[in-house]
Chains A and B, each alone.
Chain A
Amino acid sequence: MTPHAWTLLALFLALLLALVGPLGRYIADVMEGKSPVLRFGGAVERVVYRTCGVRSETEMGWLSYALAVLLFNGLGALAVFGLQRLQQWLPLNPQAMANVSPDSAFNTAVSFVTNTNWQGYSGESTLSYLTQMLGLTVQNFLSAATGIVVVIALIRGFARHTARSIGNAWVDLTRVTLYVLLPLSVLFSLFLVSQGAIQNFEGYKAVTTLEVTKYDNPKVDATGQPVKDDKGNPVTDPASTQTQTLPMGPVASQEAIKMLGTNGGGFFNANSAHPYENPTPLANFVQMLSIFIIPGALCLAFGRMVGDARQGWAVLAAMTLMFVVMAVFAMHFEQQANPLLSHLGVDPAAGNMEGKETRFGIADSGLFATITTLASCGAVNAMHDSFMPLGGLVPLWNMMLGEVVFGGVGSGLYGMLVFAIMAVFVAGLMIGRTPEYLGKKIEAYEMKMVSIAILVTPLLALAGTAAAVRMADGIAGIANPGAHGFTEILYAFTSSANNNGSAFAGLSANTPFYNVATAIAMWFGRFGVIVPVLALAGSLAAKKRLAPTGGTMPTHGPLFIVLLIGTVLLVGALNYVPALALGPVVEHLMLFAAH
């Protein structure tokens, strides 16, 4: 850790903690219908509700709420799939992009609807501007809104008592989009343009470069397959060019909500490493803040809505402590030099620069990697596949914690509240008392829902990995030999099941096998958690609120924070340590023991 890295981390924490307070209060007031901005938007809202045939004052039980969310997201998946399959005949396609293959279109549709934003395709050579805007930008908003309304419903479950309903899904989705996501995105996208992010509808621009580039062009046969010689090496022809074709498009508007909604799907293949997405170190810093700001603010909105601000701060404190430790690890391990390269005569002082951008360097890349994987964002400003073994373990482990340390917008907090129930349950078992959280008795039904929500993602991640390493189609995607290749597959399924979306991107995942397998992991990793969480919300809302007694464990103090952190870490470790030992740990030992 360099002094710069410490300064960066301290500054990040200070700004984050300063901003989440006001935003948390604002979100709580909007969702409770108390904020003054609702008066300005009231006319718009009324038109929306009348057109949709929604009676905004009528609330829903948990089952209707869940069906509404599923239906809304199912429609979104259909739309994204359809746009990709038809884009060739639709407008705003200056590069004449062809229609996307059915398996890739299916994967991308599920990926963006589930807030995963795993990308098997390369944006600049696959998607039309219309698909990017009307398909992907829209889902960047709506999947984020979905996450937030689900956690708001769960919070209402705690805040209400003997109630049958948990809110109106249509009103919640409309308000989150109109009053929270859209205004923040407008501000943020204009800031990004000021730094150099592009925003236009022009065709790609060809420029004549200063120097002629000579290169080897791989030969392809009539069917488009690469030609290989007797030894299996690709055959190439010498070629040269003095033209560089600069990609264009409405990038900044998508970039803003990509970060704010913890989506993470880049306009371009290189994602937030691309200079047109993330042009300057300042833009990078604000991108990092924008990932954590809504998940952090929601913790405080939670405290406000349940009528005890300390409850929100306790959850935020648990998240912040885990974040700081992981950030220090990532920045430390990436500051290490690769001994194999130092041996060849590369300056070790600069750290592991393979797959990193000069303007970000080690600290700003390591911190970004930590944030993007703790929050289920999945944007990358450096290539995680080229991280040092333990540097790459950090993002992988972060996702394995279940995306609850800040986590995705909404999904992070509902995941963490599920862990909080687990924590009070464990504590209750230890002292032999019926567990309670926020005055709600935790009984068998709640624990069943908690267990499903906690176990569904590790099941998908580990079963997916196990299946892939046993199948020829799974092995075929590996780019790096040895333990690292296993880590690539483990990372892919961990990322999709936990709806993160970042990758060890060497893995060739744009194949029918990976497109279908990861789509299954993403869909059930998302809705296999959302449905039990809403069931939990319904059951909690129906319960009476118990007054705290001398025997009630307080859930706002240091003891509870430690207990909550312990529960999260323990569940993560029990699920994943064997798999981690086979991947990055072995690789680390090989790199440093053998050399």
Chain B
Amino acid sequence: MLSLLRPAITLFILLTILTGLAYPAAITALAHAFFPGQAAGSLLVVGDKPVGSRLIGQNFADPKYFWGRPSATSPQPYNAQASGGSNLGPLNPALADAVKGRIDALRAADPSAPLPVPADLVTASASGLDPDISPKAARYQIHRIAAARHVPEERLEELVARHTEGRQWGLFGEPRINVLELNVALDALH
């Protein structure tokens, strides 16, 4: 047992230095050399000031903006320091109540909004920070935003189409639209 103690302690220390200090430090240096923007958090800069990250969603509730996925973070939605989902089970009445509240809010902001509602627009994301919505969910909101901003719907449709990303490499994931980028572009329309 004692003869095992010295190698155990020494090897543990050596491998800790290698994998816990040298490795992350080397990756950080390489990341900054090759992918500085990504390594620093994919910040979205408008003018000269960062308005957020392309990868981290923000809360939108004003009728003149595209709304993103509902976020279950607390205390406020899209709290980037407390990522997580609602963890509500499918049969939990709290889930149905929350979804009903979101459908009502969408239809209060635009009484002509039809049913059914795109699912991603009324269900909470896994991270609470989902930056994207589906193209369907974006188009669903065009009527409301056009009315709030007094812009023709065609211009918004064109904007949505321009911001739609297909499946990555045509193979992976789902088609999506980055809500923050879309809303920044929306503000730039005028």
Contacts and interface: CB of A to CB of B under 8 A. Distances in A.
Nearest to A504: B87
Given A72-B11, A190-B34, A273 B126 contact: yes
B120 to A, nearest CB: 5
A358 B120 contact: yes
A429 interface: no
Interface string B37-65: 01111110000011111111111111001
Contacts of A275: 53, 55-57, 127, 129-131
A170 B129 contact: no
Given A207-B51, A354-B124, A348 B77 contact: no
A364 B175 CA distance: 12
Given A250-B24, A361-B174, A182 B19 contact: yes
A305 B162 CA distance: 55
B132 A53 contact: no
Interface string B80-95: 1111111111111101
B183 A68 contact: no
Interface string A54-89: 100000000010011001100110010000000000
Contact of A173 (B1, B11, B171): B11
Contact of B127 (A51, A185, A198, A357): A357
A162 B54 CA distance: 62
Interface residues of A, number: 131
A122 B82 contact: yes
Interface in A272-303: 273-276, 279-282, 284-285
A122 B79 CA distance: 13
Contacts of B53: 207, 246, 275
Contact of A386 (B31, B60, B89): B89
Interface string A479-513: 11111100100000000000000001110000000
Interface stretch (A214-222, A313-321, A442-450, A522-530): A214-222
Nearest to A354: B123
A31 B2 CA distance: 26
Given A200-B40, A247-B80, A381 B126 contact: yes
Given A239-B75, A280-B168, A505 B84 contact: yes
A273 B85 contact: yes
Contacts of B161: none
Interface residues of B, number: 106
B60 A210 contact: yes
Interface stretch (B96-104, B141-149, B152-160): B96-104
A125 B81 contact: yes
Contacts of B42: 196, 279
B84 A269 contact: yes
B126 A141 contact: no
A124 interface: yes
B85 A505 contact: yes
A253 B26 CA distance: 9
**Residue among A280, A359, A388 facing the most chain B CB atoms (10 A cut-off):** A359
B81 A124 contact: yes
A4 B168 CA distance: 12
Interface stretch (A335-343, A432-440, A534-542, A556-564): A335-343
B151 interface: no
A48 B11 contact: yes
Contacts of B55: 196, 275-276, 279
A504 B21 CA distance: 33
A351 interface: yes
A194 B31 CA distance: 8
A79 B125 contact: no
A115 to B, nearest CB: 15
A211 B58 contact: yes
B28 A358 contact: no
A357 B81 CA distance: 18
Given A137-B19, A196-B42, 7 more contacts: A75-B12, A200-B31, A248-B41, A281-B172, A346-B117, A347-B116, A357-B126
Interface of A: 4, 7-8, 11, 48, 51-54, 64, 67-68, 71-72, 75-76, 79, 122, 124-125, 133-135, 137-138, 141-142, 170, 173-174, 177, 182, 185-186, 189-190, 193-202, 204-205, 207-211, 213-218, 239, 241, 244-248, 250, 252-254, 257, 268-270, 273-276, 279-282, 284-285, 337-338, 340-342, 344-361, 364-365, 380-383, 385-389, 479-484, 487, 504-506, 587, 590-591
Interface of B: 1, 4-12, 14-16, 18-21, 23-24, 26-28, 30-32, 34-35, 38-43, 49-62, 65, 69, 74-93, 95-96, 99-100, 103, 115-120, 122-134, 136, 167-169, 171-174, 176, 180, 183-184, 187
